[in-house]
Amino acid sequence: MANSGDHSTATADNSWHENYFNYFTEIEEHFQRARGTSLFLLSPLDWALIENWKNAGVPLEAVLRGIDETLEKWHGRKVKTRRVNSVAYCAQAVLKIAQQLSGTASVRARERSTEAPFQVSEIREHLLRAASAFASKQNAGYQQLALALQKLADQAEVHSRDLEDLERRLTSLEDKAVAIAKTVLSDESLLDIRCQLDSDLSPYRSKMSADQIAMLAKRYLDNRVLEREQLPRLSLFYLH
């Protein structure tokens, strides 16, 4: 890594952005390697957790070592009851190592990182806003999604106890919303979205694998389709 004195102000700004982005990508890639899978998508909840660590000042080293420690213990078990499918599984080890690395300076990071990611009231409001947005549409499919979201909101306290299950439910509903939106939007609108996708992805194609491009393209298209229909993303990642 070059010394900061070798960079102009503009380059320093780019370096900050790259370092912030690398915090996320290094964790994702390290988790994939430690887990033993070359291609494994972190969930939106994992991204939210990683963002909490980043904002709380948890060192990248602590996260990587926490992942290694957790996965080594898991691989060493004689009986493996379930696969490690989430970075959240490593949270305790990450916080322990962050404390060891930072000492008393990590108190604030520990406090913020150990808080529940979402309050029940926040989850309920998020679901109610989404239900209202879908209910405002005349399409019968959207109306059904509005009812499903309203039901989840009514049971927000129950669902807050298992955010992973709630996230799966929301992902399923969002997939349905995207499918409906693609049938509602005109061919011209869909073509315009795909043309914009090609333009936006063009600078990155040589720097990313085909699998990465495909995953990014899907996320991009889903986002833009919902935006054109003026519909919200449902994942808890978009709660804040």
Lowest mean pLDDT among 8-17, 69-78, 225-234: 8-17
Domains of the chain: which residue ranges?
Answer: 9-114, 120-238
Nearest to 123 by CA among 237, 220, 39, 201: 237
Cβ contact 56:109 at 8 Å: yes
Each residue of 178-202: pLDDT tens digit? 999 999 999 999 999 999 888 877 7
Is 50 exceeded by the pLDDT of residue 18? no
Please report the pLDDT score of residue 5 as a whole number.
Answer: 44
- The band of 79, judged by pLDDT with boundaries at 50, 70 and 90, is low
Within a 10 A sphere around the Cβ of 211, how many other Cβ atoms?
10
Q: Which amino acid is at 17?
A: H
CA 210 to mean position of chain CA atoms? 21
| Of the listed ranges 3-12, 31-40, 52-61, 164-173, the one predicted with least confidence | 3-12
Average pLDDT score over residue span 102-130 = 69
Instruction: Tell me if residue 137 falls in helix, strand or coil.
Output: coil
Contact 77, 70 (CB under 8 A): no
pLDDT for 20-55, tens place per residue? 557 888 898 899 888 876 666 676 667 767 877 887
